[in-house]
Structure 1
């Protein structure tokens, strides 16, 4: 049965497992809204396309499924490009579908016209293509879904001319399993296993690429068998069990962590590219042999030592590394030394940004098990990423690579939509909250039990500190803030401004029970 292509796209997405779409309708993309309800898909109306993109990001991180957003031509696409860039840097599966003008070469001055909309989007995503027929749209949608499952997940953009969206189209083809079976070099996995077993000071670095529950058993077997010291990237927190006494934690960015790697006689990295935002230095610090397991060949890191590179998903590789291995490894790491160094790093973190560590400890003690946390570019999160150990992977999400302000609130909304009935929390700074504060209305509208921890130090404190270090007189780092509690209440949300750590804990407990979002306003005075 034929329907306008805009409606058929929603039906095809539903057939491919899409249950939620985030977006904003407009005159150029209204045909895409014709089939949403008929297909049985929930639509979440954002207040700004940037919010829609961050919601799709948060939903994708919470579920592992692609987050889908519908936006209009021109400004709608431009507004969502920041979330697309964030999703690209953090390997998040996001599918953005936009309308586009039918003709731009011969006609000028049209509503929402851009010189090259498709090319603009391509700068912040994996690929950006235009579907000029229904068949092309279906093929591109299936291509995107296949690549989300089989490659490093990154955002894709498909634009469809308005006339094509309005035209009648046949039903989309049924889904077909096209997933290839990856081949893994057995000799390479055997070599890694042998070198791990023989090493006296092996280190394994786990990244966000292995932050899925399905890898837990393989990782635990590897740790038990070879007893390496471990680090995680910020995105990899929770991968290593909290009780594992040889875990140096998410402290790669501590300058003295390079001394630990200098001591290593074998290094294995899994699911990480060791980006600038992981290390904040040029080199890991090792001088030994090392091996890398990564799904993206472009992210294999060059450096000293004979390298074994395996391009594959880490779960199966780790399982093969442990298979058939008998006997204990030769690792000689001291649990006492690891604990002492971690304590020193914790003190360094507290000294650099005073007063935040006790608040992190207080929050960690009261958030429910299985809480999924979304944080923003704020000093509070920078401290928490180092001192807040996670007891499970994939439950703390942050705008790591692109570093976008305003991420946490809408991303947490997307996560809460995905996890109805499960605890979700946002942590955001006063300045970042300004960027996407309007999305608080969405959380109210949906009745999401969402605590939003708003850290207000009254300024862009991280930038001020950086200016001081650079011997620049601090400039343009203070903005007048509103009464955030009254603002939240104007949206219909709850609000509270605790004055002590016990009051903060009580407020967080209550917020998880509320039938709507609660803004919890805290300042540095909380620990003074």
Structure 2
């Protein structure tokens, strides 16, 4: 039956598996809301469009399915552009649908008017497009979902003029069979196998693009050592004896990489925020496996390049090397010695945080999914906190935006109801999106929110001191965070010992709503 296009779009999204939409309604996009309940979709009302975008991001990371957000013309879209930029840099599938004005050139002074809304969104999205007909809107949605499956997942933006959203339209076409991604085949990995057969010290670098569970078995049967990027933590599981961990940013990792006689990087961008240096440090042959041609052609100049999804590559590699004789060039002792040395470096750079992290990790279930913010606590944890499962720690690594953790954690908790989810934030970053605490209270999410308060922008202060700049504008007056949480209707705790911290975390997972757990460096 005919319905306004806004309603038809909600039905179309439901037909493609969308069951949650994040957003804020307004007079310009209210037609999108006409069909949400009828389509059987749950809408999560954020307190700010930035929160809605981060929730969609967190939901997508938790579920592996696209996060969807509805926003209004102009300021609504501008507010969600920061999350879109984060999703772009971290390869997160997100679909943002917004309204737009019908005409902006001749008629000025309209509500929410921008000079070029579509172009603005295009600076932080994979693409931004305007649909001037119902068929165009349906086609763009279809294209977005196909690309989420086939290409490197990144955010898309579709805008529809207000009058088009209001106009009656025929239903969207029913979903076709999705296109099938090209899978790696044994001939594709033959060059890799040949080089592995000759290698005595093969080294794998596993990134966030790895989407398979076979890597521990592969590494074991090859006798290979590995590093992971921050986003790739957990790919080798816990206690794999040849796992150097997420220590690529340590300067000494370049020496280890230089000692390998074959380096294989899978699903890893190897950008600045992975290495904190420009060069990887390899001297041997470098093999790159990635979906993105831009990654394959970057300045690291891989000798062997395979464009393939990591899951099919892993399955084929596992099968064709099943009878391989493991390499013997690496020893568990050298790996353990390097990791201990680097852990001591991390502890010396930001003293006093490692023991708190160890206590926190011991109190959390192994399958906890963690969302962290831009804070020194997270910077330390990303290097020393070993993950038992892959894709269970999410951080705004690339774009590096403050305020990510709380709303993204809310989105993640919505996507994995019944499973443990936690948030780690710093005092300053929490200010950016703390209003979204109301959403977690409304939904009754058992969400521990670890708030690390060192009373300042400590990372920036330290950087200023290193640059011989007198620290300036690094201290802001904080509220009583516990009272703030209670004002929203959340629980709070302010443990003064590590044992009390662990008790508070365990209780938070059993609560019927969020708990803000306030800690300072004095906890030691």
TM-score norm. by structure 1 comes to 0.98
SS in 2 for 1:435: helix
Deviations 1:222-281 (A, max 9, x none): 212211110000000000121210000000000110000111111000001101000000
> Contact 2:220 / 2:326 at 8 angstroms: preserved in 1?
no
Instruction: Give unpaired runs (5+ residues) of structure 2.
Output: none
Aligned to 1:229: 225
SS in 2 for 1:68: strand
Question: 2: CA distance between counterparts of 1:419 and 1:453?
Answer: 19
Aligned to 1:483: 480
Question: 1: CA distance between counterparts of 2:228 and 2:385?
Answer: 13
Aligned to 1:514: 511
Question: Aligned-pair distance for 1:424?
Answer: 0.6
SS in 1 for 2:320: coil
Question: 2: CA distance between counterparts of 1:183 and 1:516?
Answer: 43
Deviations 1:492-525 (A, max 9, x none): 1001100000000000011111111000000000
> Contact 2:186 / 2:320 at 8 angstroms: preserved in 1?
no
Question: Aligned-pair distance for 1:304?
Answer: 6.4
Question: 2: CA distance between counterparts of 1:398 and 1:364?
Answer: 17
2:378 corresponds to 1:353: no
> Contact 1:188 / 1:308 at 8 angstroms: preserved in 2?
no
Aligned to 2:308: 312
Structural mapping, 1:103-118, within 5 Å: 103-118=103-118
Structure 1 runs, 4 residues or longer, greater than 6 Å off: none
Question: Aligned-pair distance for 1:220?
Answer: 2.7
Question: 2: CA distance between counterparts of 1:273 and 1:306?
Answer: 12
SS in 2 for 1:209: coil
> Contact 1:274 / 1:301 at 8 angstroms: preserved in 2?
no
Aligned to 1:4: 4
2:167 corresponds to 1:170: no
> Contact 2:49 / 2:79 at 8 angstroms: preserved in 1?
yes
> Contact 2:267 / 2:310 at 8 angstroms: preserved in 1?
yes
SS in 1 for 2:209: helix
Question: Aligned-pair distance for 1:180?
Answer: 3.0
2:28 corresponds to 1:28: yes
RMSD over aligned Cα atoms: 1.1
Question: 2: CA distance between counterparts of 1:303 and 1:164?
Answer: 46
Aligned to 2:493: 496
Question: 2: CA distance between counterparts of 1:322 and 1:454?
Answer: 42
2:454 corresponds to 1:457: yes
Question: 1: CA distance between counterparts of 2:260 and 2:184?
Answer: 26
Residues 1:301 and 1:381: Cα distance change in structure 2 (over 3 Å): farther
Aligned to 1:143: 143
> Contact 2:447 / 2:514 at 8 angstroms: preserved in 1?
yes
Question: 2: CA distance between counterparts of 1:360 and 1:40?
Answer: 41
2:437 corresponds to 1:440: yes
Residues 1:95 and 1:350: Cα distance change in structure 2 (over 3 Å): same
Question: 2: CA distance between counterparts of 1:526 and 1:17?
Answer: 45
Aligned to 2:464: 467
Question: 2: CA distance between counterparts of 1:358 and 1:503?
Answer: 14
> Contact 1:96 / 1:158 at 8 angstroms: preserved in 2?
yes
Deviations 1:455-506 (A, max 9, x none): 0000000000000111111010000000000100110100110000000000
2:95 corresponds to 1:95: yes
Instruction: Give unpaired runs (5+ residues) of structure 1.
Output: none
> Contact 1:10 / 1:35 at 8 angstroms: preserved in 2?
yes
Question: Aligned-pair distance for 1:34?
Answer: 0.3
Aligned to 2:152: 152
Aligned length: 523
SS in 2 for 1:216: coil
Residues 1:306 and 1:491: Cα distance change in structure 2 (over 3 Å): closer
Residues 1:523 and 1:108: Cα distance change in structure 2 (over 3 Å): same
Deviations 1:259-316 (A, max 9, x none): 0011111100000110100000010111111111001111115456761111110111
2:412 corresponds to 1:425: no
